Amino acid sequence: MSLARKSCIPSKSDTHPLTLQQAVELLGEIPTWELVGAKKIECNLSFSNFAQALAFVNAAGEICEQENHHADFELGWGRVGIQIWTHDINGLTESDFILAAKIDEVC
- Reading the chain (107 residues) residue by residue, the pLDDT tens digits are 799 999 999 988 899 999 999 999 999 999 999 999 989 999 999 999 999 999 999 999 999 999 999 999 999 999 999 999 999 999 999 999 999 999 999 98
Nearest to 85 by CA among 44, 45, 35, 46: 35
Q: Exposed, middle or buried by CB within 10 Å (0-12, 13-18, 19+), for 53?
A: buried
Query: Angle, nearest 10°, between helix axes 94-104 and 50-67?
Result: 140
Whether pTM > 0.85 for this model: the answer is yes
CA separation for the pair 51, 54 (Å, rounded): 5
| In a domain? residue 12 | no
Show the domain range for 61. 32-107
CATH code assigned at 101: 3.30.1360.20
Number of folded domains in the chain? 1
Flag whether 44 is in a domain: yes
Question: Does 4 map to a domain?
Answer: no
